[in-house]
Structure 1
């Protein structure tokens, strides 16, 4: 896993609802694509850490698209 700076992101693990998360690291896949290890809290207050693809993430330096799970 490539180490780096922890970053705030919007995570969309299961659809259009975005949840605030922390990007903890990167991993290059065999096909050359990248996945990110992200920790986020679900609307039901469950803490999840999992590998997400780049299309499931967005930098958190802008407002949520499609509605945040937190209002």
Structure 2
């Protein structure tokens, strides 16, 4: 699923029983957690995305720095 252009996944777990959420912020950064319900897992994943993109600003992906633009 996608929220604010960032992909996240919700997966049901058997042991412990619940729902695991995984947010793929970029190639090197992820956030994850476990919730008791699917709806709560979605809310938590979206909250993690909101926190990571505070004020609507996304961090640049690795390899997209100004120095490389000037040198390349």
More strand, by proportion: 1
More helix, by proportion: 2
Of structures 1 and 2, the one scoring higher in RCO (CA 8 A, sep 6+) is 1
Using the size of structure 2 for normalisation, the TM-score is 0.36
- Structure ID, larger Rg: 2
Using the size of structure 1 for normalisation, the TM-score is 0.36
